[in-house]
Chain A
Amino acid sequence: ETGVTQSPTHLIKTRGQQVTLRCSSQSGHNTVSWYQQALGQGPQFIFQYYREEENGRGNFPPRFSGLQFPNYSSELNVNALELDDSALYLCASSLRSRNEQFFGPGTRLTVL
């Protein structure tokens, strides 16, 4: 069974740029959730995707957007990057009917 994978591992961008992060869900999982984890904090829910549609969103502005593909993999896009967007971005996959979410290793984004 393949676990959740994310790419890239690390990324450095400058303010105003755009970034795309990628996630492959665990085999058999049809739901993907994205979280932002600032240093020293717990993860904060960004949004969740099921059947290629956004299914719930946390307190993040519209410049955070996402996609889910037919194979259940997902992308997180962030436009007009700000310094405060520097964080570990975590992807978690799950079954639609279950609350247990399994996390990938994360992408460390640094905005300069």
Chain B
Amino acid sequence: GQQLNQSPQSMFIQEGEDVSMNCTSSSIFNTWLWYKQDPGEGPVLLIALYKAGELTSNGRLTAQFGITRKDSFLNISASIPSDVGIYFCAGQLSGAGGTSYGKLTFGQGTILTVHP
């Protein structure tokens, strides 16, 4: 099936540092979503992107929908200890019609550790 390549797999950073992670695919997506998942919980939606080139912020988080529609990145500025968790990108494929409407394809996740 379709795959999203998410990198890096893990990051160990100091509190206050900026973080960048990204997702790439060989397929075109019409929606990119970024989620954060804490241990034992479901993913929480952080940012949704709908247009190529779109740049959206949510507090210290900024995400962009790549121009080619095949990639997206997420930046976290001035990290704090509560940013610890697993970050997932997810996308919905373009042009697949109603049969895949709403089907999200997820990346493998980026494990973020923040040292105080």
Contacts and interface: CB of A to CB of B under 8 A. Distances in A.
A99 B36 CA distance: 17
A89 to B, nearest CB: 10
Given A4-B42, A105-B40, 4 more contacts: A42-B107, A43-B104, A105-B41, A106-B41
Contacts of B105: 45
Contact of A103 (B1, B44, B50): B44
Contacts, number: 76
Interface stretch (B14-22, B59-67, B71-79, B95-103): B95-103
**Chain A: number of interface residues, binned into ranges:** 20 to 34
**What 7 pairs across the A-B complex have the smallest Cβ distances?**
A42-B106, A103-B42, A99-B31, A45-B103, A103-B43, A105-B42, A48-B102
A105 B107 CA distance: 19
Contact of A100 (B30, B48, B109): B48
A35 B103 CA distance: 10
Interface of B: 1, 4, 6, 30-31, 33, 35, 40-45, 48, 50, 88, 90, 92, 98-109
24 contacts: A31-B102, A33-B102, A42-B88, A42-B90, A42-B106, A43-B43, A43-B88, A45-B105, A48-B103, A55-B101, A55-B102, A56-B103, A90-B42, A90-B43, A92-B104, A99-B33, A99-B50, A99-B102, A100-B48, A103-B42, A103-B43, A105-B40, A105-B42, A106-B41
